Amino acid sequence: MANRATREAYGETLIELVEEGLNVVAVDADLAGSTQTGKLGAYDPDRLINVGIAEQDMMGVAAGLSLTGRIAFTGSFAVFGTGRCYDQIRNTVCDAKLNVKVCPTHAGITVGEDGATHQMLEDIGMMRALPQMRVLVPADYRAAKAAIRIAATTEGPVYVRLGRHKVPEVYDETFTGGLPYAGVLREGGDVTLAACGVEVAQALAAADLLAEKGISAEVIDVFSVSPLDEDTILASAAKTGKVVTCEEHNVTTGMGAAIAELLAERQPTPMRFVGMRSFGTSAPGDVLLEHFGLDGAGIARTVEEFLA
């Protein structure tokens, strides 16, 4: 299977869910072509509402639709679909436990040439901080399909982080994920690499590089950031004694911070964090991963320095 972006799963899966009998609708803020919700609109125009460049209205309309029994998905880019309408997500959707699915695309540094203004690096932290909100970060196209299905069949608010960048295949068509779910993709004994999203493939590449130097890295896909699959993470940390988290997000509040909170309370373990510590810049996604040390080689360097 060729590399595909996680956003490519969005519109296709929404159509599948409608065909299976789910009362799915989508609300977008004038980006339906980029987010892929436009595919649902082409399939059934009554199931897509474009509110224009008005993200707060998008969330309010989705909230209203959910109160009529519909499963309401929202679009837009992550920087707008969480940042511009955070108040509505917090006070309208989460406080009332409404059945709204926040699924923006173009998250993370790999938005690339659009630059720092469009590279959302704080969304995982913003969403996991909200009571009632579940947070899923799929690693590839098939994981994204699974995440959207989980969102549709889970009552209440769910955040699914989708990207623009084409990523390598990690899973086959049998992957279903879970809530919570973290999967051990590669077993190892010297260090745990806990990754999410685009960083899962990079962590697997890092494990290959480390193996060449005699370092055995265990790789975990943290598909569900909130809630965490605590048992899987704790078991791996106990096994290896060292944890490196890898995410295309600011290290301050993201997946790595969630794991650090878990380990601090339940099983103190030495850690390092691979992620962003600044705003991004404009360049192709692959170039940015390398520049900021988020590619396989960068992760491997961090691990070697940690173990040394």
Beta strands (DSSP E) in 120-242 are 134-136, 158-160, 166-167, 183-186, 191-195, 217-221, 224-226
Does 227 sit behind a cis peptide bond, omega within 30 degrees of 0 on the bond before it? yes
Q: Is 55 among the residues known to form the active site?
A: yes
Cα dihedral 17, 23, 28, 32 sign:
positive
Which residue in the list 55, 199, 247, 248 is annotated as catalytic? 55
Alpha carbons 135 and 101: distance in angstroms, whole number: 10
User: From residue 137, how far is each of 183, 215, 223, 297, 301 by CA, in Å?
Assistant: 13, 27, 5, 22, 24
Count, residues in the chain: 308
Measured between alpha carbons, how far apart are the two ends of the chain, in Å? 38
The backbone torsions φ and ψ at residue 159, rounded to the nearest 5 degrees and listed phi first, read -110, 125
Alpha carbons 227 and 181: distance in angstroms, whole number: 8
Tell me which residues are annotated as active site.
Answer: 55
